[in-house]
């Protein structure tokens, strides 16, 4: 339900955060929520390096499903940034597939991008964070970590696993000044809302049930910038006491029975 392709402008309220001198890595930062996060962090003064298959020449182009390529990219990240203060794991993918005829290749790739890549990057980059006694990690998960729907097994498993990994990492890194949290969006207007060529935000279930009948209390999908602001707070020095948590940003969707 998360992650249209328009590049966001600098989100309003960037001055609420000060990332001057901070170095940040954002996966999936070439579009959607990830791009909104990268724009906001840069507007607030951070040096941001994007890791993405669609990354531009100033960033790091890497297939996050390729473990060897991802591990090889880590020295390049550290060489360019020196160290890392903020890690935002936002890259994600979704392939609809029924349990009884599960596309195993798509299942493996979904877990590789959505779960394994964030874990590998936490393993590789939280060491330098711990050594310097400061760090912030924000993993973008989904309400799918706790709420499921048909045809989404791989996505549900990957997001549930990432929230579990968030909690465990938070416990282990707390003594080192590294706070680890997750942000769980609901419906967001990005290219990931397009499944099999159909935008779910324009379909009858969304417009009639979620909007018309108020199944989604705020009666609209989120804008990527709205998710980015929550991520920015958790990634900032202003967050000094939240760790091991998943912050739900879904317009009230999961509050309804």
Concatenated DSSP letters of 138-201: EEE--GGGT---TTBHHHHHHHHHHHHHHHHHHHHHGGGTEEEEEEEE-SBSSGGGEETTEETT
What is the token pair recorded at 237? Answer: 């020095």
Q: How confident is the model at residue 193 (pLDDT cuts 50, 70, 90)?
A: confident
Q: CA end-to-end span of the chain, whole Å?
A: 19
Query: CA–CA separation, 237 vs 157, rounded Å?
Result: 31
Residue with tokens 């779910």, as numbered in its chain: 200
Mean pLDDT of 177-191: 96
- State the Cα–Cα distance between residues 131 and 222, nearest whole angstrom: 37
Question: Parallel, antiparallel, or unpaired: how do β-strands 194-195 and 198-199 relate?
Answer: antiparallel
What pLDDT digit, counting tens, does each position of 122-143 carry?
A: 999 999 999 999 999 999 999 9
Q: Is the pTM of this model over 0.75?
A: yes
Catalytic residue list contains 155:
yes
With the CA atoms of 227, 126, 21 and 25 taken in that order, what torsion angle do they form, in degrees rounded to the nearest 10? -50
The pLDDT value given to residue 197: 76
Which pLDDT score, from 0 to 100, does residue 199 have? Answer: 85
pLDDT score recorded for residue 2: 40
Token output for 93: 């993918």
Of 17, 107, 134, 155, the catalytic one is 155
Distance CA 131, CA 232 (A): 23
The SS3 of residue 21 is coil
Q: Which domains does the chain have, with CATH numbers?
A: 17-186+225-248 (3.40.50.720), 193-221 (no CATH)
């Amino acid at each position: 339900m998360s992650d249209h392709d328009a590049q966001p402008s600098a989100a309003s309220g960037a001055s609420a955060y000060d990332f001057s001198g901070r170095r940040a890595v954002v996966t999936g930062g070439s579009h959607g929520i990830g791009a909104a996060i990268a724009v906001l962090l840069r507007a607030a003064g951070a040096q941001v390096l994007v890791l993405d298959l669609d990354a531009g020449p100033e960033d790091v182009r890497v297939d996050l499903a390729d473990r060897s390529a991802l591990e090889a990219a880590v020295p390049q990240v550290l060489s360019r940034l020196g160290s890392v203060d903020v890690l935002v794991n936002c890259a994600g993918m979704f392939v609809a597939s029924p349990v009884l005829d599960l596309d195993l290749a798509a299942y493996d790739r979904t877990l590789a991008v959505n779960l394994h890549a964030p874990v590998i990057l936490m393993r590789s980059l939280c060491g330098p964070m711990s050594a310097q006694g400061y760090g912030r990690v924000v993993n973008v998960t989904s309400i799918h970590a706790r709420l499921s729907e048909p045809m989404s097994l791989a996505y549900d498993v990957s997001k549930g696993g990432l929230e579990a990994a968030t909690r465990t990492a938070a416990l282990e890194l707390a003594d080192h000044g590294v706070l680890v949290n997750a942000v769980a969006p609901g419906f967001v207007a990005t290219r990931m809302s397009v499944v099999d060529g159909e935008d779910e935000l324009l379909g009858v279930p969304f417009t009639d049930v979620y909007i018309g009948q108020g199944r989604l209390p705020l009666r609209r999908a989120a804008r990527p910038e709205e998710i980015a602001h929550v991520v920015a707070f958790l990634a900032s020095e202003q967050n000094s006491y939240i760790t091991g948590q998943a912050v739900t940003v879904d317009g009230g969707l999961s509050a309804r029975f």
